[in-house]
Structure formats: structure tokens, C-alpha cells
Amino acid sequence: MTAQAPAEGMVVGSNLERVLRAGHFAVCGEMGPPQSCSAQAVLNKVSLFKGNVDAVNLTDNQTAIVRMSSIAAAKLILDEGLEPIIQMTVRDRNRIGLQSDLLGAAALGIRNVLCLSGDHMSFGNHGSAKAVYDIDSVQLVNTVHRMREESLLICGDGTPPKPRKPDAPWNNVPTPLFVGAASNPFGDPLEFRVVRLAKKIAAGADFIQTQAIYDLPRFERFMAMVRDRGLHEKVFIMAGVLPVKSPRALTYMRDDVPGMSIPEELVKRMEGAEDKEEEGIAMCVEIIERVRAIEGVRGVHIMPPMWEKVIPEIVSRAGLLPRPTFEGEPA
């Protein structure tokens, strides 16, 4: 499928942005960089995503476990022709480090960034690390937005192309990044989740990826509140889905992952299934079909933990193939 990219409102012209602005139902995948410097480990997975998704999230030291930098991993897949979305948490870098990495990522051709608080370091393998949390995720969204729209850093300085010379006129260079933020429709308190989403939009978020959705009624309530405030027209909301291959994975998320809501009938359904992997895929496809029908949901974000090989099947069974392609270079 080839489509003409609508130029209207386009800010950076990343593949993801073009898909969304063209009104397609977008599909993102997610990849955890390796706990080593193995580039091969990253490259091995590229084929699973290519042609099946519009962009791939590269996690930033997910669950506070040290992994290859998301920017480096992003560059590796970018070179293979796969579009990355770098995740960026405020846990490990202060405003200097964050802005420096944003400039660097954009320089490498990365065009999408997802701003996060990050899992607390007490969950990871360096529990005794010093927390940074200089700015929070909402402020990071605004930082990226400002670097792109106003070519300004947090401190108010511009981003000139060359080192500053006294009295020399220059034009600041904007940092072209399509900025996203996360939203958890299942965190407490529910009403405030929508307020916080609004704050992220006000801060400049272009797209939203949600926490993995299992509890559809609650997600529907959330989306209704989103629509009541007209937020779905101000931001591209992509629903998170997470396929599982065992009931244990569900109960683990229910009991041990903060901010998750897992209906009991799904656990029972997985427990009763003969082919658990097949059931997990079927369940995921069903959820994609359900969320796609909800007004205001503009795409889906598939995050199979350590199970990337299932992506092609899910995307295909959910009727999301082929993915749109665009002629010409991004604007």
C-alpha cells in the first residue's frame, strides 16, 4: 500500500508521523536492547519487525537493568531501514545529559522519542544507584517540544549550528523529534490519569503509547473521558498490547507489575487453554480488534517481552498488513 503523505501539520515527517497523519491505524513494535555490546543481537531481530510495523520502540534500560543504550540500538536498526522510537527516561540523566542525547539522537537521524519517568532503580540490578530525577517526564516532553518548535534549551539558550561568536547573527537549528509520552489508563486515580494525559498534551506530546491493555471496560471508560475533553483530537493515541504465552505471565503482571489491571476471566481463559501460545496470540489479536473499534485510538503498540518472533503473526492475523509506505523522502 502506497499513500501520499499529507503535509498538513507535519512536524518531522518520520514514518510514524506520516502513517498517523495519513489516518492509517499505526502499528509499533518494541525491542529491548541486549545486556551486552552485541550489535548482532539487535540486528537479528530486525527482520521480525521490518514490513510488519511502522516503527520500533527501543527501551531505555527497562526495569532499571543496564542494557545497550537505546540511541545506539536505534542507530543500528535505522541503518537497516527500520524506523526507531527511542525511549528516554529521566531516571539516569539530568537535564544536561538528556538534552545532549536528544541532540545526538536527532543528529544520527532518529526522529521519534518517547519520554518516560522510568522504572525506579530499586527494581533493577543497580538498586543502590543515585536517583537523578532532575526533571520529570512531563517536563521532558516539553523540553523536546521546545527544542523542536523554538530551538531553545531548558535554560533559554538557542541551539545554533556553530559555536557562538559574539555579535554574529545566526539561525538556531531546530531538533527534529516527534515526541511521545506514555499514559497508564489503569493507574490510580483514574480521573487524574486523564488530567495527566492533558498535561502531557499541553506540554507538547504528539503521540501517546498506553500501558498494556487487558481490562477493556476500564480502557473504554478512560477513552470516553479522553473524548469528553477532546484530547483524542489533539494527540495520536496508540493502545499498548502485550501478548503472553502463559497464565503465569498474566498473574505476574497482575501481582507484581505496578499499575496493571488484569481481568480474572483472562487468567482463567489462559489456564484453560490447551495451546497456551496460540491462545495468547488469539487473545492479543482480539484485543487489537477491540481497541481499534474505539473512537480516538489511532494505532497499536505491540510489546511482546522476549517474544518478538510473534509480531508478524499477530499483525497479520489482526489484518494490519500490509503496512503503508510513502514515496519520497520525509519532508
Partner 1 sequence: MIVADRKPLDEILEMVGDANRILVSACNTCVTVCLAGGRREAAILASQIRIHAQEAGRTVEVRENCLERHCDPEFLAELAGELEWADVMVSTACGVGVNLASEVYPSARIIPGLNTSFFGATDAPGRWLEMCGGCGDCVLHRTGGICPIVRCAKSILNGPCGGSQDGKCEVDPDTPCAWQEIIDRLALQGRSAELEAVEPVKDWGTSHSGGRRRRIVDEVFQAEGEGEA
CB of 194 to partner 1, least distance (A): 11
| Closer CB to partner 1, 84 or 124, in the complex | 124
- Alpha carbon distance 330, 19 (integer Å): 12
- Alpha carbon distance 56, 312 (integer Å): 13
| Count of residues engaged in binding partner 1, rule: CB under 8 A | 36
Helix then strand then coil, in percent of the chain rounded to 5, is 40, 15, 45
Q: Determine which residue in the list 122, 125, 316, 325 makes contact with partner 1, applying CB under 8 A.
A: 122
As given in the structure block, the three cell numbers for residue 304 are 511482546
91 touches partner 1 (CB under 8 A): yes
CB of 109 to partner 1, least distance (A): 28
| Closer CB to partner 1, 83 or 119, in the complex | 119
- Alpha carbon distance 276, 263 (integer Å): 17
CB of 207 to partner 1, least distance (A): 16
As given in the structure block, the three cell numbers for residue 202 are 499541553
Go through 195-217 and write b for each residue having 16 or more CB atoms within 10 A of its CB, e for each that does not.
ebbbebbebbbbbbbbbbbbbbe
Question: What SS3 state is found at 2?
Answer: strand
Q: For partner 1, which stretch binds (CB under 8 A), given 9-17, 105-113, 129-137, 320-328?
A: 129-137
Question: Which x/- pattern over 230-259 shows residues binding partner 1 (rule: CB under 8 A)?
Answer: ----------------------------xx
CB of 156 to partner 1, least distance (A): 11
Q: Determine which residue in the list 3, 109, 133, 317 makes contact with partner 1, applying CB under 8 A.
A: 133
CB of 35 to partner 1, least distance (A): 23
142 touches partner 1 (CB under 8 A): yes
Question: What SS3 state is found at 329?
Answer: coil
As given in the structure block, the three cell numbers for residue 17 are 508521523
Q: For residue 233, give the nearest of 201, 261, 199 by alpha carbon.
A: 201
Residues lying near partner 1 in the complex (CB under 8 A) are found at 90-91, 95, 117-120, 122-123, 131, 133-139, 142-143, 154, 182-184, 187-189, 192, 195-196, 198-199, 202-203, 211, 258-259
